[in-house]
């Protein structure tokens, strides 16, 4: 009987050892910075995985803090952290596939409130202290929220899906990206659509330059898309007459340009092209273009050289360029920081699918891209 | 009065899964029925020598009566099951490989979806299965190629000597879960019929701790309701040297898919509805020196997937797709004995697959037809009482593309000249063709994909020991190594949508341990089943993007997995207790053990059963508690699993 017992225990020993190993890994315990200039990086994560995260980078100390939201709150942002916008000390994290906006103290990263009950939110554009617009991937309307009371206060029937927005005077301009080809002009005072303008298919991003001229980048959709497939184009739009001043059509149909950005002085625009089609090709990279240029640039300003450029941001104060490498979208990505003249300044690791940047400047007056 | 059939039943009960009673070994006495000790020689088929194979025995199948195959495999095998929740999609990882690398066959016809390559184990009720056989690594090649991790074979076994029998089982449990199952059958020793039916439904509205939205409150799961209805009809005929069987299995399942824990949006509706029809006919001829098997089967599946969400203007449909597949499968196997010690075996298989899918919303879809043909020949030879081996040569053709040549071989060595100690070595090459979605999905399918190529090797040491007349121990430890080249994964590609590519080289290695023990201390009987697997599966791609990824454990594959089940039987009572353990799993390829890993979990399950007999009817009343300690855990990131649940089962049979 004793032999039997020994045999029995010996046979089960490895199983019990492993069963007792159940544990929960601690979170990364890096102290979070509380003030000063810095850059937030929205790591989208993988769709339906719920593994998005927020990183914070300090260019003065060259330090990066990953998963700052999770570390401060012990719960994750949610499923696809699409974008982030700042209003004074508050940060608004748009969690696309969780249908919510998380409000966070931008200094402590502590969760303040949740604006829930949204459809498929993409970007926020602050109108004033009590009004902000939220674009939507699926709804044909823009949601109006009060950024201080954290409530949904209304909607604007746009007539199509919406993506990025930019403010110019009393008007707000919103692109209609998903299966759309419209740019909408909205009166921010009356919350009504004044006009709409047809551009090339799938306008994904919009900026305003130093002259107040609008630039809209269209990726043209893709082969087999229900909305069709067009040549990608960059449209230069007069905001007053709301008409296309100039249309720069890309030389190939499958370039899929994205992430139109503008520098702090508003005289140069940037975008990523060839990023998915041919990441290792010589034409892949970040392109730079003067707002006074009469043709598209032919060579990339920063070559991808095998990297999968995914996110792009330009510091509104110093015009440093931040471009992310999503690697294979399954592992944490990298961010490359360049000077305005294109000199590499730093490289740091962030998290999965770093898609957008939000800059917190010394004055805490900021811009999100 | 104990009938011969009962005697045989009791003796078979003593044959622990994978264990053997050797010639000359006395049979242990049952606690309640005293039968005369006899000597039994159990001659394994020659084709089973040299391969690593396990079979959950009848006690396990009986205990898992209300479960799906996913729950049975999760608790009683080393196969890891990735489940999206109770009643939801459940796929397998066999020795660290992906879900499509597990070949699943029912009575000789494949159950793997031609579009996805995988089988959904939550849609396979254990009640419809009489035998479950797991072939590991290259040992699965003897039956079919494509199972780079292994294969699972499900089969029906007729009850030849029953003139009429039937049973009805009613289960009711937590979260408004109800299961009704019934079976009727009978016939003569030459002709048998049986019909089994199942109805399974649940609100599945368990409470869980939401750790994903900052509330830290227990919430009620919603939009997780599921329903399954199935019917299985079988006919078996035998005359002389011939056996003919036919089966028809029809099933309909609708499952709501709840959003992940962090969702706080306006409202979302997601569901899938599966329809399946599988039919096959088998004809076996047992000659003096030959065995001829012919199997022909047809499967038809339909899947509707719907995803939509509330907007200010009403409901927005993101996806509403309908996918249909039809597969015609034919297989012929001829075995010829050459003398006492040699067997020649040839197999020819063909599957004609047709798939159609269309999404009304995105307008994406495709239609494709593919023929897969496979031919193999093997020779099995017993050199002496100690040494048996086989050599298999196989080649397949998918469309117009021949697979790489697939040889495999196995050796089984019995150093003591009997099966109390067996050493088995297996090595072989295998090929897995891309699924139809991999090839044709719009957007992202890649018609230029190459087949995935596997090289598998394992070494097993199996011990069977009878310590005294009342204790039998069988244990086996297996070391394995599987290398897969041209592993297909989907990555974001052109225009931002995901594309299939032959990206990875994956190396999986580890070991598995299985233990089966039976002890009889009159009048108490104890059966103990345990298993443990250590699986280290890493990406070894040399030109991978991002060096940190290389050498990391693949996502959703636990390094450690183990379970233990103890049955105690006394007179009309039976009690079981079983802890299951699944170790930490990474959810990204970076192997970052912070936010990107799921902690391991340990579940405790208990059950108690009472058997009785009233009005010439055998009955059983069973109470089962799963996750007894109410552990909060997730199998897939941010998808909660049920806490403690109870099930009551009443079974009446005649």
pLDDT of res. A29 = 46
Of B379, B354, B378, give the one whose Cα is nearest residue B367.
Answer: B354
Q: Using only C-alpha atoms, what is the Rg of chain B?
A: 25
* Whole-number percent of chain B with pLDDT over 70: 90
Would you call B511 an interface residue with chain A, using a CB distance cutoff of 8 Å?
no
Of B479, B463, B470, B569, give the one whose Cα is nearest residue B526.
Answer: B569
What mean pLDDT is predicted for residues B614-627? 94
- Which residues in chain B are contacts of A99 at CB distance < 8 A? 263-266, 268, 309
CA distance A235 to A92: 29
What mean pLDDT is predicted for residues B260-275? 94
Nearest-Cα distance to chain A for B391, in Å, is: 34
What mean pLDDT is predicted for residues B374-390? 95
Q: Using only C-alpha atoms, what is the Rg of chain A?
A: 23
pLDDT of res. B493 = 59
DSSP E strand boundaries for B312-420: 314-338, 342-359, 365-382, 387-398, 401-402, 406-413
CA distance B654 to B652: 7
Does the pLDDT of residue B526 top 70, yes or no? Answer: yes
A window 73-92, beta carbon within 8 A of B? 73-79
- Which residues in chain A are contacts of B595 at CB distance < 8 A? 27, 51, 53, 67, 70, 76
Residue of A nearest to B550 (CA): A331
Of A19, A70, A224, the CB nearest to B442: A224
pLDDT of res. B403 = 87
Reported confidence tier of residue B402, pLDDT bands at 50, 70, 90: confident
Q: What is the DSSP letter of B2?
A: -
Q: CB–CB of B600 and A256 under 8 A?
A: no
DSSP E strand boundaries for A164-307: 165-168, 171-175, 182-187, 192-198, 203-208, 214-218, 233-238, 243-249, 258-262, 268-273, 285-290, 302-303
Alpha helices in chain A (DSSP H): 2-19, 68-73
Of B213, B210, B248, give the one whose Cα is nearest residue B232.
Answer: B248
Give all strands of the β-sheet with A332-338 in edge-to-edge order. Answer: A309-314, A321-325, A332-338, A344-352
Please say whether the beta carbons of B150 and B135 come within 8 A: yes
Would you call A109 an interface residue with chain B, using a CB distance cutoff of 8 Å?
no
Q: CB–CB of A11 and B515 under 8 A?
A: yes
Long-range Cβ contacts of B18-26 (<8 Å, 24+ apart): B18/B53, B18/B54, B18/B55, B18/B462, B18/B474, B18/B476, B18/B514, B18/B516, B19/B464, B19/B472, B19/B474, B19/B516, B20/B44, B20/B419, B20/B464, B20/B474, B22/B418, B22/B419, B22/B420, B22/B464, B23/B418, B25/B466, B26/B469
pLDDT of res. A194 = 94
Q: A18, A114, A142, A348: best mutation site toward chain B, by most B Cβ within 10 Å? A: A18
Q: CB–CB of B581 and A19 under 8 A?
A: yes
Of B494, B583, B588, the CB nearest to A18: B583
Residues in chain A with pLDDT values less than 70 = 1-35, 275-282, 362-369
Instruction: Provide the 3-class DSSP secondary structure of residue B297.
Output: strand
The H-or-E segment that residue B135 falls in is strand B131-136
Would you call A7 an interface residue with chain B, using a CB distance cutoff of 8 Å?
yes
Query: How many Cα atoms sit within 13 Å of B365 on the Cβ side?
Result: 18
How many other β-carbons are positioned within 10 Å of the β-carbon of residue A255?
22
Rounded to 10 degrees, the C-alpha dihedral B419/B420/B426/B432 comes to 90
B window 436-475, beta carbon within 8 A of A? 442-443, 467, 471, 473, 475
Q: CB–CB of A15 and B532 under 8 A?
A: yes
Q: What are the pLDDT digits (tens) for A169-209?
A: 889 999 999 889 999 999 999 999 999 999 999 999 999 99
What sign results for the dihedral spanned by CA atoms A296, A300, A304, A309? Answer: negative
Does the pLDDT of residue B323 top 80, yes or no? Answer: yes
End-to-end CA, chain A: 73
Instruction: Provide the 3-class DSSP secondary structure of residue B286.
Output: strand
B209: cis peptide before it, omega within 30°? no
Q: What rounded mean pLDDT belongs to chain B?
A: 88
Q: B311, B499, B527: best mutation site toward chain A, by most A Cβ within 10 Å? A: B311
Does the pLDDT of residue B155 top 90, yes or no? Answer: yes
Would you call B314 an interface residue with chain A, using a CB distance cutoff of 8 Å?
no
The tokens describing B184, both together, are 């009727």
B window 53-112, beta carbon within 8 A of A? none
Q: CB–CB of B589 and A328 under 8 A?
A: yes
Does the pLDDT of residue B588 top 70, yes or no? Answer: yes
What mean pLDDT is predicted for residues B156-167? 93
Please say whether the beta carbons of B122 and B88 come within 8 A: yes
pLDDT of res. A11 = 45
Instruction: List the Cα angle A342/A345/A349 in 5-degree steps.
Output: 115
Regarding predicted confidence, which is higher, A276 or B596? B596
Location of structure tokens 């047992």: B286
A9, with CB counted inside 10 A (0-12, 13-18, 19+), is exposed
Right CATH for A3-360 from 1.10.1740.10, 3.40.50.880, 3.20.80.10, 2.130.10.10: 2.130.10.10
Reported confidence tier of residue B148, pLDDT bands at 50, 70, 90: very high
| Ramachandran class of B116: left when φ > 0, alpha when ψ lies in -120 to 50, beta otherwise | alpha
> What is the phi/psi pair of residue A229, to 5°?
-140, 120
Nearest-Cα distance to chain A for B420, in Å, is: 16
Would you call A10 an interface residue with chain B, using a CB distance cutoff of 8 Å?
no
DSSP A214-228: EEEEE--B-TT-TT-
Q: What are the pLDDT digits (tens) for B171-220?
A: 999 999 999 999 999 999 999 999 999 999 999 999 999 999 998 899 99
Q: What is the DSSP letter of B128?
A: G
Query: How many Cα atoms sit within 13 Å of A99 on the Cβ side?
Result: 21
Would you call B268 an interface residue with chain A, using a CB distance cutoff of 8 Å?
yes
Would you call A363 an interface residue with chain B, using a CB distance cutoff of 8 Å?
no
Q: What is the number of helices (H) and of strands (E) in chain A?
A: 2, 29
Of B462, B389, B397, give the one whose Cα is nearest residue B426.
Answer: B389
Q: Which residues make beta-bridge pairs with B199?
A: B180, B229
CA distance B395 to B393: 7
CA distance B338 to B573: 50
pLDDT of res. B492 = 65
Q: A98, A142, A255: best mutation site toward chain B, by most B Cβ within 10 Å? A: A98
How many other β-carbons are positioned within 10 Å of the β-carbon of residue A72?
17
CA distance B645 to B429: 44
Instruction: Provide the 3-class DSSP secondary structure of residue A267.
Output: coil
Q: What are the pLDDT digits (tens) for B26-65?
A: 333 344 445 555 545 556 788 889 999 999 999 999 999 9
CA distance A124 to A103: 12
- Give the list of residues 6+ apart from residue A7 with CB closer than 8 angstroms, or none: B467, B473
């Amino acid at each position: 009987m004793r032999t039997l017992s020994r045999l029995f225990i010996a046979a089960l020993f490895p199983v019990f050892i492993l069963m007792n190993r159940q544990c929960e890994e601690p979170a990364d315990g890096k102290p979070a910075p509380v003030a000063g200039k810095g850059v937030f990086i929205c790591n989208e994560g993988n769709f339906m995985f719920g593994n998005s995260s927020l990183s914070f980078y300090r260019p003065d100390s060259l330090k990066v803090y990953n998963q700052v939201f999770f570390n401060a709150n012990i719960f994750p942002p949610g499923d696809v952290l699409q974008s982030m916008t700042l209003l004074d000390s508050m940060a608004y994290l748009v969690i696309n596939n969780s249908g919510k906006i998380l409000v966070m103290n931008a200094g402590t990263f502590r969760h303040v409130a949740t604006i829930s009950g949204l459809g498929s939110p993409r970007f926020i554009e602050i109108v004033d202290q009590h009004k902000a617009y939220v674009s939507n991937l699926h709804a044909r309307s823009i949601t109006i929220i009060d950024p201080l009371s954290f409530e949904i206060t209304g909607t604007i029937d746009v007539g199509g899906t919406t993506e990025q927005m930019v403010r110019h005077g009393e008007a707000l301009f919103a692109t209609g990206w998903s299966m759309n080809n419209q740019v909408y002009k909205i009166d921010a005072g009356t919350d009504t659509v004044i006009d709409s303008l047809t551009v090339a298919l799938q306008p994904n991003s919009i900026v305003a330059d130093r002259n107040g001229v609008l630039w809209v980048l269209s990726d043209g959709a893709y082969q087999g898309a229900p909305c069709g497939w067009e040549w990608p184009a960059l449209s230069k739009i007069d905001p007053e007459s709301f008409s296309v001043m100039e249309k720069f059509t890309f030389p190939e149909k499958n370039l899929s340009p994205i992430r139109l950005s503008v520098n702090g002085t508003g005289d140069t625009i940037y975008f990523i092209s060839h990023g998915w089609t041919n990441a290792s090709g010589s034409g892949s990279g970040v392109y730079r273009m003067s707002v006074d240029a009469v043709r598209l640039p032919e060579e990339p300003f920063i070559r991808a050289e095998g990297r999968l450029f995914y996110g792009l941001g330009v510091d509104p104060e110093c015009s440093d360029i931040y471009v992310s490498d999503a690697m294979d979208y399954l592992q944490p990505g990298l961010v490359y920081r360049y000077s305005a003249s294109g000199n590499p300044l730093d490289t740091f690791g962030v998290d999965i699918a770093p898609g957008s940047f939000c800059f917190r400047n010394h004055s805490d007056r900021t811009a999100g891209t | 009065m104990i009938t011969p059939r009962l005697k045989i039943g009791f003796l078979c009960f003593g044959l622990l899964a994978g264990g053997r009673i050797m010639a000359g070994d006395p049979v242990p006495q049952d606690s309640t029925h005293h039968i005369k000790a006899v000597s039994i020689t159990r001659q394994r088929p020659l084709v089973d020598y040299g391969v690593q194979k396990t079979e959950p025995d009848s006690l396990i199948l009986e205990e898992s009566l209300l479960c799906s195959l996913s729950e049975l495999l999760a608790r009683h095998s080393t196969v890891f099951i990735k489940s999206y929740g109770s009643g939801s999609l459940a796929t397998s990882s066999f020795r660290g490989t992906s879900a499509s690398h597990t070949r699943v066959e029912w009575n000789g016809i494949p159950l793997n979806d031609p579009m996805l390559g995988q089988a959904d184990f939550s849609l396979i009720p254990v009640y419809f299965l009489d035998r479950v056989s797991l072939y590991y690594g290259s040992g699965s090649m003897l039956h079919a190629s494509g199972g780079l991790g292994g294969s699972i074979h499900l089969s029906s076994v007729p009850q030849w000597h029953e003139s009429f029998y039937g049973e009805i089982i009613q289960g009711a449990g937590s979260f408004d879960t109800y299961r009704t199952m019934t079976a009727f059958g009978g016939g003569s020793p030459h002709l048998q019929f049986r019909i089994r039916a199942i109805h399974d439904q649940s609100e599945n509205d368990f409470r869980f701790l939401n750790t994903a939205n900052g509330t830290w409150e227990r919430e009620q799961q919603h939009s997780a309701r599921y329903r399954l209805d199935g019917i299985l009809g079988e006919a078996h005929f035998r005359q002389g040297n011939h056996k003919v069987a036919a089966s028809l299995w029809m099933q309909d399942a609708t499952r709501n898919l709840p959003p992940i824990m962090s969702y706080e949006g306006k409202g979302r509706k997601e569901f899938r509805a599966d329809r399946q029809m599988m039919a096959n006919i088998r004809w076996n001829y047992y000659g003096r020196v030959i065995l001829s098997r012919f199997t022909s089967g047809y499967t038809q599946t339909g899947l509707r997937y719907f995803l939509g969400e509330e907007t200010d203007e009403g409901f927005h449909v993101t996806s509403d797709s309908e996918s249909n597949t039809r597969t015609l499968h034919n297989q012929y196997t001829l075995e010829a004995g050459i003398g006492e010690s040699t067997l020649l075996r040839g197999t020819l298989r063909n599957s004609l697959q047709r798939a159609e899918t269309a999404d009304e919303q995105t307008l994406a879809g495709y239609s494709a037809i593919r023929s897969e043909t496979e031919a193999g020949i093997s020779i099995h030879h017993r050199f002496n009482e100690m040494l048996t081996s086989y050599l298999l040569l196989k080649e397949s053709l998918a469309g117009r593309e021949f697979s790489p040549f697939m040889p495999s071989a196995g050796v089984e060595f019995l150093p003591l000249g009997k099966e109390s100690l067996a050493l088995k070595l297996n090595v072989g090459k295998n090929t897995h063709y891309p699924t139809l979605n991999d090839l044709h999905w719009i957007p992202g399918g890649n018609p230029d994909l190459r087949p995935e190529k596997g090289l598998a090797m394992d070494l097993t040491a199996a011990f069977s020991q009878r310590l005294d007349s009342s204790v039998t121990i069988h244990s086996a430890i297996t070391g394995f190594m599987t290398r897969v080249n041209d592993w297909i994964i989907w990555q974001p590609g052109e225009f931002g949508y995901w594309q299939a590519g032959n990206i990875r080289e994956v190396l999986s290695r580890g070991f598995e341990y299985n233990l089966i023990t039976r002890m009889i201390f009159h009048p108490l009987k104890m059966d103990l089943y345990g298993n443990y697997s250590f699986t280290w599966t890493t990406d070894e791609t040399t030109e991978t993007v991002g060096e940190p990824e290389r050498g990391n454990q693949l996502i959703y594959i636990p390094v450690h997995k183990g379970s233990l089940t103890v049955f105690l039987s006394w007179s009309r009572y039976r009690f079981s207790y079983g802890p299951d353990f699944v170790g930490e799993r990474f959810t990204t390829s970076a192997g970052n053990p912070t936010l990107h890993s799921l902690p391991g979990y340990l579940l405790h399950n208990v059950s108690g059963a009472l058997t009785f007999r009233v009005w010439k009817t055998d009955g059983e009343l069973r109470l089962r508690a799963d996750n007894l300690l109410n552990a909060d855990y997730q199998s897939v990131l941010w998808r909660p699993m049920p806490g403690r649940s109870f099930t009551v089962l009443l079974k009446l049979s005649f």
